[in-house]
């Protein structure tokens, strides 16, 4: 009897010359109340990449809104997990198992309070750095060797400010403009990375 997952993958691949070989994940929280918050910049990244590639990230699969696109010559599954941030890894791991994607072919866009709005750091691996979404992905994949585009959202103005309140807060007008300017560059940065020009992507976009 044929592997049912193989059959599903064959059906998914019909109409596309390439099979899905990479997961591109934007981290955030579902729901209107979280739109535009610092913690949801990963969703903004996926929206920009989808728009640039003509994809629609609307199909609910693997507990995530998903859509397929071709970026940098690779067929990718764009994902916006709907599990809430702390359980993001469950959605990522489910899709990775289905498509047989190794951690090295998982790319995650997430917020980072250590960088100013408008800045991004690209890393091939590393610790969660206190980010619960990354922590969940590391635990569920059993590896920290996945690529992450860490998007700056700024630091707390006061050290005593609650971190959860800060990341779930919304940007100032100026900071949001900087984030939008960054987001507009991410489709090109991702395309370079997936086409094998990793050094160029880091030199041009990673601050």
In this prediction, residue 8 carries a pLDDT of 47
pLDDT tens digit sequence for 134-170: 999 999 999 999 999 999 999 887 777 788 888 889 9
Domain map (residue ranges) of the chain: 19-205
| pTM of the predicted model as reported, rounded to 2 decimal places | 0.90
Evaluate if residue 59 carries a pLDDT over 90: yes
When pLDDT is cut at 50, 70 and 90, the band that residue 72 belongs to is very high
Q: For the segment 99-143, what is each residue's pLDDT rounded down to a tens digit?
A: 999 999 999 999 999 999 999 999 999 999 989 999 999 999 999
Active site residue 39: yes
Q: What is the mean pLDDT of residues 81-92?
A: 97
Does 27 score more than 50 pLDDT? yes
> Which residues are registered as beta bridge partners of 24?
78, 107
DSSP H helical segments within 88-172, as ranges? 88-99, 132-141, 163-167
Task: List the CATH code of the domain at 19-205.
Answer: 3.40.50.1470
Cα→Cα distances 26→39, 135, 148, 160, 175, Å: 10, 14, 10, 28, 19
Which tokens hold the place of 42?
């990963």
**Catalytic one of 38, 39, 80, 105:** 39
Cα–Cα nearest to 63, from 75, 77, 80: 80
């Amino acid at each position: 009897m044929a592997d049912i997952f193989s059959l599903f993958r064959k059906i998914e691949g019909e109409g596309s010359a390439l099979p899905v070989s990479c997961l591109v994940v934007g981290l955030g929280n579902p729901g209107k109340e979280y739109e535009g918050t610092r913690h949801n910049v990963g969703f903004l990244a996926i929206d920009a990449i989808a728009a640039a590639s003509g994809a629609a990230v609307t199909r609910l699969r693997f507990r995530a809104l998903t859509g397929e696109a071709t970026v940098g010559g690779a067929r990718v599954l764009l994902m916006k997990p709907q599990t809430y941030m702390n359980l993001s890894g469950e959605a990522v791991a489910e899709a990775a198992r289905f498509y047989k994607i190794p951690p090295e072919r998982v790319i995650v866009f997430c917020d980072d309070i250590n960088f100013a709005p408008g800045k991004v750091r690209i890393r091939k691996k590393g610790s969660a750095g206190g980010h619960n979404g990354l922590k969940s992905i590391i635990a569920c994949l059993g590896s920290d060797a996945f690529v992450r585009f860490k998007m700056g959202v700024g630091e707390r103005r006061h050290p005593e400010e609650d971190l959860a309140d800060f990341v779930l807060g919304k940007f100032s007008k100026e900071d949001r403009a900087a984030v939008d300017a960054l987001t507009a560059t991410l489709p090109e940065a991702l395309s370079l990375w997936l086409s094998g020009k990793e050094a160029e992507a880091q030199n041009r976009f990673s601050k």
